[in-house]
Amino acid sequence: SQQGEEDPQALSIQEGENATMNCSYKTSINNLQWYRQNSGRGLVHLILIRSNEREKHSGRLRVTLDTSKKSSSLLITASRAADTASYFCATDTSGYSTLTFGKGTMLLVSP
Amino acid sequence: DTAVSQTPKYLVTQMGNDKSIKCEQNLGHDTMYWYKQDSKKFLKIMFSYNNKELIINETVPNRFSPKSPDKAHLNLHINSLELGDSAVYFCASSKDGGLQPQHFGDGTRLSIL
């Protein structure tokens, strides 16, 4: 069965608001990655967080990882209409870039 | 300029036909992948190749055969297409050594009539 489960399945917010997406997984991981997918396009890598890290930042993105709860969250601050996309978490259990993806969260940011 | 390119972007064909999807990456990566994304957007790994050698083959019907002529190319050939093969197929690549992000192509939307 799939490793990652994102929550919520869909999220609708206004521009300027923050968006938080959660990911839960089942087995021990080496690292966890977040990807964005715009409609009709491929996935784009956002952030990789190792199992021994608790938080990572990249621009307006903040990722946390709680290995005791087997969960991660992605926070997008001050969202923009261009952030509208699906967001996926992916777990790497081996450390050799073999990823298992969740079903994703669809984010809609309205102007 | 495109890092990972797939052709064709759309493929519409009849059940029972054989078709191929091509993938090329110009990033110098050693590992390439094929994924299938279903209508509910669930993305599942099919194959992984490292330096032209198969390293992962998930539970995929043997009608699907990947071919890697060199480390920059990983093509996917599908025999005897079935209705359930309708999906978006993504090619991706990554550097060796683990802890590496994957770079994806824009996908090939396969529709079986």
Encode pLDDT of B61-101 as tens digits: 999 999 999 989 999 999 999 999 999 999 999 997 678 89
Q: How far is CA A103 from CA A5, A9, A24, A35, B57, in A?
A: 6, 8, 11, 12, 21
Q: Is the pLDDT of residue B32 over 50?
A: yes
d(CA A93, CA A26): 10
**Yes or no, beta carbons of A95 and B99 under 8 Å apart:** yes
Residue B88 tokens read as 């978006």
Q: How confident is the model at residue B50 (pLDDT cuts 50, 70, 90)?
A: confident
Mean pLDDT over all residues of chain B? 92
Which residue in chain B has the smallest CA separation from A87? B41
- Residue listed under structure tokens 């870039």: A97
Per the CB < 8 A criterion, the answer to whether A108 and A12 are in contact is yes
Per the CB < 8 A criterion, the answer to whether B8 and B21 are in contact is yes
Q: Is the pLDDT of residue B30 over 70?
A: yes
Q: Give me the phi and psi of A83, to 5 degrees please.
A: -80, -10
In this predicted structure, what is the pLDDT of residue A1? Answer: 42
Chain A residues whose beta carbon lies within 8 Å of the beta carbon of residue B104: 35, 42-44
Distance from CA of B10 to the nearest CA of A (A): 11
List Cβ neighbours of A71 (8 Å cut-off, separation of 6 or more). A22, A23, A24, A25, A65
Note the residue count of chain A. 111
Q: What is the pLDDT of residues A71-109, one digit of tens each?
A: 999 999 999 999 999 999 999 887 666 889 988 999 999
**Yes or no, beta carbons of A103 and B40 under 8 Å apart:** yes
Q: SS3 for B107?
A: coil
In this predicted structure, what is the pLDDT of residue A3? Answer: 62
Chain A residues whose beta carbon lies within 8 Å of the beta carbon of residue B56: 98
Which residue in chain B has the smallest CA separation from A49? B99
**How do beta strands B31-37 and B87-94 pair?**
antiparallel
* Per-position DSSP letters for B20-36, written without gaps between them: EEEEEE-S--SEEEEEE
Which H or E run contains A88? strand A85-92
Q: SS3 for A81?
A: helix
- Residue listed under structure tokens 């996935």: A43
User: Which of B90, B102, B106 is nearest residue A97 as measured by Cβ atoms?
Assistant: B102
Which residue in chain A has the smallest CA separation from B42? A103
Q: How confident is the model at residue B1 (pLDDT cuts 50, 70, 90)?
A: low
Q: How confident is the model at residue A5 (pLDDT cuts 50, 70, 90)?
A: confident
In this predicted structure, what is the pLDDT of residue B53? Answer: 79
- Residue listed under structure tokens 């608790």: A54
Q: SS3 for B51?
A: coil
Cβ–Cβ contact B102 with A under 8 A:
yes
Q: Is the pLDDT of residue B104 over 90?
A: yes
Which region among A94-98, B4-8, B26-30, B108-112 has the lowest average model confidence (pLDDT)? A94-98
Radius of gyration of chain B measured on its C-alpha atoms: 13
**How do beta strands A105-110 and A10-14 pair?**
parallel
